[in-house]
Amino acid sequence: MRMTDPNDAATLPRAIPAATLIVFRDRAGLPPELLLVERSPRLAFAPGATVFPGGRVDPGDVALAEMLGPIAPVDAAARIAAIRETIEETGVAIGVAAPPGVDAIRSALRHGATLGETLDGTALDLDQLVPFAHWRPRERHARMFDALFYLARLPVDAPPASVDSTENVRLDWAGARETLDAAARGERTLIFPTRRNLERLAQFASYDEAVAHARATPVRRITPWIEPRDGVDYLCIPDDLGYPITAEPVAAARRG
């Protein structure tokens, strides 16, 4: 029996709108690599954890989405945030047509400019981002994010990714299974949503397979709940959203 109702929005405390981008780089004969960053141990949320690039949706993201008008998808602000955060954290520009110098954009963002201001009229292609998941935890003791996850392929002409050295201390390209194995050896720290998403992504041999799966699977808000099983409390998620593992003992799960 569930201890809480994860679908009862009225019981959920306020969360920060956020977006995350899972960037794929295909490898011949091997599962694709994913772009990952390790968060600084000084940060309040998920210190030292390995995560995908992402962060909160800023007012500038909302304003740029509104400027796009009726051509923009309903989640345009989140897609823009995912693009902006990925540029800030890794120097990789996804969904930006012929960016006018990624280093210049990155520097301007670091100094407080909005993505719209840095692009100087350069077009955005938000369709390059494929909706994958929607995570919204309920823990009142942690900094909570209502996060949309997207998939994207690394552009062929993308410059090498590099760590921002502010929020993050390390950047890597690694396969989903490789990252899970590294965590099992104690070489990586994974929070609950990242672990579940890596397990889901480890099922696919290519970016195209992952996209086909994402488009065939509904994106529904995931709010984990605690459920006792044989005397042990488990942190659980729905079993119909493509995740091969849907429960983990609470004592073993890192949530933030």
Strands (E), the chain: 16-27, 30-39, 50-51, 54-56, 130-135, 145-153, 168-175, 221-222, 225-229, 232-236, 247-249
**Is 135 part of any domain?**
yes
Q: Tell me which residue range forms the domain holding 118.
A: 9-252
CA distance 50 to 40: 10
Alpha-carbon distances of 132 from 102, 123, 124, 207, rounded to whole Å: 26, 23, 20, 12
Residue in 77, 92, 159, 161 with CA at minimum distance from that of residue 126: 77
CATH of the domain at 221: 3.90.79.10
**Is 1 part of any domain?**
no
With beta carbons less than 8 A apart as the criterion, state whether 68 and 119 touch.
no
**Is 243 part of any domain?**
yes
Q: What is the pLDDT of residue 105?
A: 87
pTM of the model as a whole: 0.92
Q: What is the pLDDT of residue 4?
A: 42
What is the number of structural domains in the chain? 1
pLDDT digits (tens, 9 = 90+) for 114-150: 999 988 767 899 999 999 999 998 866 567 899 999 9
**Is 2 part of any domain?**
no
Mean predicted lDDT score pLDDT of the chain:
90
Taking the chain (256 residues) in runs of 10, the rounded mean pLDDT of each run is 45 83 94 95 88 96 90 91 95 81 86 88 89 88 85 90 88 97 97 97 97 97 96 97 97 89
**Is 3 part of any domain?**
no
Residue that has been written with the tokens 């390995």 in this structure: 50
